[in-house]
Structure 1
């Protein structure tokens, strides 16, 4: 599902639910150590999303490797590889690309349900909330607040590997096109890629099977 909003340079694998009932199936020892004391649900999602990532890596002809979380959960990808993972109730996915083609990418999946009360005001700007009202008139079956949250997650996942700095929800202002694209204008200096500063990220979004999906791909 996520692959539908990603370019051909990116390999992506998504699954509904978990791939195996065995808690440590297919993990490297270092990965197993990360979740040794986690509850069963956490172990299952951790395992599944990494198996998705390794399937995506295999599509690119890349060998399997341990994918360990670092600060803020950002995955440490092998040299020459960039990628992103997402998991929510009922869906897990990973997207991978070679850094020669893609500098950074971010994907996110969320249930197509309204955010809990009070969350939208924390993660959004007034202009964004006005834009969601306009989007609702064109796409009434889309939970715009959840879409905004997902897109901001994709913004952060694209931003962080390039900067290793935090980015607050209110430090990027998003606009959505009802046809399935969005732009994120960074309100802080953007990252530099090959000597070029990127102050805007462009992404795509879709809705299906009860989920909202967002993706940003920043070319190298």
Structure 2
């Protein structure tokens, strides 16, 4: 069955399914799961290249800038993880988030959205691309 989009661009998944889509110029990624196992899910993918100049202050909170060295901050890791958290969070709260609204703790594999007091598990994969995944367990996995 085709995956349609809402007016805001959010995919409409079949009943009982959560999912997320991402792409850049040369590759696409998808993540899907049963909602009873994974209650919220987001994925993002970017080329494994440094962030364009001047974006660290936009993407990283002051706390994150104190937690991570400049090498990590110049990578796209935080960017893709925050995008993945946004994609997992939006269907739950229907609220637009800015990069500064999401706090990433790579050491504990969590992404936290303070304005709605919500925590997501995160995973990061690096190869030719940087892939970020954010999720919450479903009702059968608590």
TM-score, normalised by the number of residues in structure 1 = 0.58
Counterpart residue number, 1:218: 136
1:69-148 map, 5 Å: 69-133=5-69, 136=71, 144-148=74-78
Structure 2, gaps ≥5 residues long = none
Larger radius of gyration: 1
2:88 counterpart of 1:158: yes
Secondary structure of residue in 2 paired with 1:159? helix
Counterpart residue number, 1:41: none
Counterpart residue number, 2:115: 188
Structure 1, gaps ≥5 residues long = 1-64, 137-141, 191-198
> Which stretch of structure 1 is more off in the superposition, 124-133 or 92-101?
124-133
Contact 1:132-1:144 at 8 Å conserved across structures: no
Shift of 1:144: 4.7
Identify, as 1 or 2, the structure richer in strand.
Answer: 2
Q: 1:143 to 1:188 in 2, by over 3 A?
A: closer
Q: Which ranges of 4 or more aligned residues in structure 1 deviate by more than 3 Å?
A: 142-145
Q: 1:165 to 1:69 in 2, by over 3 A?
A: same
Q: 1:69-101, CA deviations, whole angstroms, 9 ceiling, x for partnerless residues?
A: 224421111111110111112221111111121
TM-score, normalised by the number of residues in structure 2 = 0.86
Q: 1:175 to 1:107 in 2, by over 3 A?
A: same
Instruction: Measure the CA separation in 1 of the matches of 2:7 and 2:65.
Output: 30
More RCO (CA 8 Å, sep 6+): 2
Q: 1:130 to 1:72 in 2, by over 3 A?
A: farther
Matched pairs, number: 138
Instruction: Measure the CA separation in 2 of the matches of 1:143 and 1:185.
Output: 18
Secondary structure of residue in 2 paired with 1:73? coil
Instruction: Measure the CA separation in 1 of the matches of 2:31 and 2:4.
Output: 15
